[in-house]
Amino acid sequence: MWITRVLSTAALMLGLAASPAAADSTPSPGASEDGSAPTAAGTSFRTATEIEQGQTATANGSAGDYLYWSFPADAGQRPTVSATVKLPETHAAETWQIDVYDGLRRRQACQYGAQTRTAAADAASVELACVLRTVRAWSEPWANDPLPGTYYIRLTVVNLAASDLGLPVDASVQVGSKDIGGSAAVDGSLAHPLVPGAGAVSQGGEEESTKEALLASLEPSGGWASGWWSDRWVWTAIGGMLAALAGVGGYTLTRGAGRPSRVPPGA
């Protein structure tokens, strides 16, 4: 009976572990539903337009411009950045590219996706995508692993005919992410997310306040380090329970083995 109870408890804990992962993998509703999605893009890292995951941001620009957006990503998430550029009716072949940088402005490699694409002459649009590596809670200083914090998107054309320079284009960008769970958990975490900011300094050169003037104000819906919980904890607990169960079961099956049989007196 007690064995059945232990197995039932383990199954219940496994179900609870799967539920948060399934919920986190669903994109959160974007602000585009109430019409508050950004309709302009920045022209540099410092002026990047902030967007939330799940939003679809739009912007008007000219061929040859650099368009910048920023978004927050937390540990355990694997962000996917997608962009669509609507081109003018008449144009030559041109190549567009989307790049993603972390809070330290290090260019992050894409696991897969069409990061660079060439639009044929007179093509109506071009679509780009970049699936980043899973954001880690902690990494070695020399590594280039993606870490929690602000990420920057840069969209631009990298091959353009001189006759098409300055032609109007319409761009849309969307960011989503998948919660990877305990398989990406590490034993460590950053003291603070990589959110660019500048300290307030007085004219005398001494620090006037410890309050930071943040260059990026958005954060994940559950706050930073919201991904501290993962199914890794549950799998560890289940493994410990099964190991204990196996030990008790083995002892039960083998107890008494090798003991000399007792012969009743006078037999």
Q: Please say whether the beta carbons of 171 and 59 come within 8 A.
A: yes
* Residue range 201-211, pLDDT digits in tens: 333 444 444 44
Q: Residues 209-258: pLDDT tens digits?
A: 444 455 667 777 777 775 455 565 565 667 777 888 888 877 778 875 55
List 100's β-bridge partners, or say none: 153
pLDDT for position 236: 66
Structure tokens belonging to residue 147: 């870490």
Region 75-101: mean pLDDT is: 95
**Dihedrals phi, psi of 70, to nearest 5 degrees:** -135, 150
Structure tokens at 247: 């030990």
Instruction: Report pTM.
Output: 0.69
What stretches of 67-145 show up as alpha helix (H) in DSSP? none
Set out the domains of the chain in order of their start, with CATH numbers: 37-197+213-222 (2.60.120.380)
**Band of the pLDDT at 143, cuts 50, 70, 90?**
confident
7-54 per-position pLDDT tens digit: 444 444 444 444 433 333 333 333 444 557 899 999 999 999 999 999
Instruction: Please state, rounded to an integer, the average pLDDT across all residues of the chain.
Output: 77
